[in-house]
Amino acid sequence: MPPCVDVYVWLPRPDPDLLSHFIKRYVNRDDPGDERLAAFSRVYVENAGSDDDRAALADLGRDDALDGFSLYVKARAHYGAILTITREGAAVLGLSIDDPYGSSHVQSQARALLEDLRAEFVSPAGCAGVELAPAHSQQEWEDDGLVQIRVGVLPRKAS
């Protein structure tokens, strides 16, 4: 698998209309590559998920259900699409851009996509990096370890 530049935007909450828009616009719904997209849609878009749907999504978590999860699916015009629900209940939406040669053109493309996604989804912040895993929490989001591009800031958590 060639390296990809992963571009993410943060949504303070998993708004059903915004998630539906992302899926319709960016995800290959005819062949999503993971049948759990239907369970994700029932739970987070239609608010009609069953216990089986929630169990299928819990299997996507790294360690346990409290850690958030990511669903990797095929994209319509990008290398891949990622839908994440964080530990705090926020959403992170991502698109991957194929970058087998570490091209500066791809970095420019990632910056432009990041700004477009922020505007399209009214996101307070976005980030991008090569093979950057989606954040499963605000703490992970704020970790700069592999982040190459960062724009905006997240709202501060209430104390």
Residue 159 has pLDDT above 50, yes or no: no
Length of the chain: 159
3-state secondary structure of 29: coil
Least confident of 33-42, 49-58, 121-130: 49-58
Domain residues for the domain of 86 are 4-152
Least confident of 29-38, 123-132, 140-149: 140-149
Residue 89 has pLDDT above 70, yes or no: yes
Place of tokens 């739970």: 43
Quick check: is 158 in a domain? no
Structure confidence by residue, pLDDT tens digits, 109-143: 999 999 999 999 999 999 999 999 999 999 999 98
Quick check: is 159 in a domain? no
Quick check: is 63 in a domain? yes
- What's the mean pLDDT in 91-114? 94
CB count within 10 Å of CB 87 equals 17
Quick check: is 90 in a domain? yes
Q: Per the structure, how many domains does the chain have?
A: 1
Report residue 11 as tokens: 């949504």
